[in-house]
Structures are given as C-alpha cells and as structure tokens.
Structure 1
C-alpha cells in the first residue's frame, strides 16, 4: 500500500470513529428514553386527563388532590376487568404531581357490584400513613382500609376524614353505588423493557464497530 493510500485510509477510519463518538450521546438519550417505565409514555396523559375530569365533576376533588400525600388514578376500569383473580385497569400513582409507579386493579373475592361498564377511579391518600399502606405491601385490599370512603354527589357536605377518599366517575358523574370492598390493588414490579427493534439497533452499532476494527487488522 502506498503512503498516500495509507494516509487516506487512516483518515477515513479516524473520521468514522469521530462520527460514532459524536453520535454516542444521542444514542444514549434514545436508550434512556426507551428504558424508562412504560407508564411515563403511555398512561400519564390519560391519568392527568382523569384528574382534570375529577376536578370538573366534583368541587372537592381539586382541593383533595392539591393537599394529598399521593393520588392513584385509574383512567379506565372495565366491568370485564373486575372478575375474581382478574387484572386490569392500569393506574398511575402521583406524588407531588410526578408519576412514581404503575398499579393494577382487580377483584379479590366475590361480592363486588360491578356497576356500569366503565369507570374512572381516583384514590386520594390524604396522609402519608395511608399512602404507605398502599406502597409498602405486595397487594392492597381496599376493603381493609378502615378509612376508605367513596365520595358521593353530596361531597361538599362530607367530612374530610376518609382516607383514602375515592372518586368513582362514569358517564353520568360521580358513582357512589359501586362497592369497592372486594377490590385489590398491586404494584407493577416489571416495567416494560426496550422493544426488539431498539435492541436490534444497538446490536447493529456493535457490529459496525467490529467491522472497523477488522479492516484495521487485515493490513
């Protein structure tokens, strides 16, 4: 190989390596984005819309949310989800306005009155002790919380002693007739990982690095 060709080849390799290094921060950001728990991308907006709806439907909801230690929001809970042993109704827990966990809701035992086909549920935990009962255990049964109170249409006249205070909303407004005693709620311990396409993209970049090294070894 002539000196000029060798210099040209080395310059090309150096330029390629520089481009790879320059792109590393973007790749890292992309990796971080896809590695975040799924609820941050898929469920938070729906949960926030549910909170806005709750504020509109019940005047006390806004005050309760603003003063809460934590708020657990289920934007959609379907009757079909609430079967014995079933799991459905993906929810988001907000603490200080930030999403901090994803939860599921299901039926623990017989006795649940399913009510309407679809409801929104907002669990407002006013005190840290009540919130800890939800967060510390593997599974939380609503009926086991002595202070759990379903807010009715006369919410403005209710004493604010229930903890958590539960707002159940359907197409007609507040639904205080839905029995929640048989409901169970548990934390999602396995947030969604990167999808296969993202993993393939990272693998391709690894192969490109190997190809550059192989070219250098050939000579």
Structure 2
C-alpha cells in the first residue's frame, strides 16, 4: 500500500473510532507496518491539517474530530446494503480495501433512520468469502499497476514450480472465480497470467514499465467488460 493510500485509510479508521480512539499498536497491526511508521503517518496527517487528536494513558489512543466527516448522503437502505455486499463478496478484488473504506465512509454519514434500516437488512445477507491473498502482496500489485512500475514477485505455479520474476503489470482480470495479474514477464519475455493467490511475495521496484498495452494481452472474452461500465 502506498503511503498516500495508507494515510487515507488511517484517517478513515480514526474517524470510525469515534470518541473511543484507536491505539498506534492496533493501527500498526492493521496496516502491517511498525508503530514508528504509524506515528510518522499520524504526524503527517496532523501537519496536513487533519484534526487528529490524541489521548495519553493505558486506554489512550488517536482519533479524528467530527469536523472531518462528510455531509449527509442520500441513499436508500437497499442501495447502501448493495454497496456493502459488493465489497464484502469481492474482498480479494484489486483495491478492495480502498473500496470498503469508501463504502464505510458513505454508510457512516447516512441519516440515522436509513443507516438503522441498512444495518438490519445487512444482517440478512451472509457471505462465505474465500480467504484473500495477503494485504502486503495485494498492495504491492495495486501500487505497481497504478504507478506503472516493474513488480518483482515470488510465484509458485500450479505444477509447484517456484520462481522469482520481474513483471510489468498491464491489467487485473477475474475469470473462473479467481483474480489474475496479467503482465509482461521478463523471465519468459512474453505476456503471462499470474494467479494472485499463487504470488507469495511482491515488491515494487523503481524501474518504470516500458509501455505494454492492454491490446497486447489479446481479445477479451465476449462476456468480459471493464469495471467502469
């Protein structure tokens, strides 16, 4: 996860903690970074003008003043639950953490009556989501695609062969209930599909991609579409 994305996610967690606040240790566990890094993030938020407050002591923590909330948003209970269900069912999708944070932000500022009805309806929807890949791996893949940087991955194929590869990410694709990273593989010197669930480690290098395009991947299936449609 890029620092800018983590700062946004941290601010959302602070806002949702309300008057109780949340400890630096819990934030560090949530975002898989050190307490020192979280404290630098909190200082960065405060320096940028975010109304961050802190409370010392054993039950202390950090929070965000109510002035940081969004104005009321008009959604029906069913619309609100549709957003929550979509995010919950696709927890392994690219940028799922950011989507869930945005949806929580929207739901939190609904009028109390709508939010109560949405909560009641949400209790009637159960989702048995498959375990997702690690947050660290997904964050690296998302950053590499967004920034168009070469990604270094440790990958184990379906046959059990493990290799380390440099990949230029081109797109994410979902097919057969599984997410793939599609990119130009330096090891094979060709376009390859990598099952995200089989990527054991991933790190973003400083090497820029050379401009491989979606067209190089080939023609998508007839029923395939981009998420903005």
Normalised TM-score (structure 2) = 0.20
- The answer to which structure, 1 or 2, has the higher relative contact order (CA under 8 A, 6+ apart) is 1
More helix by share: 1
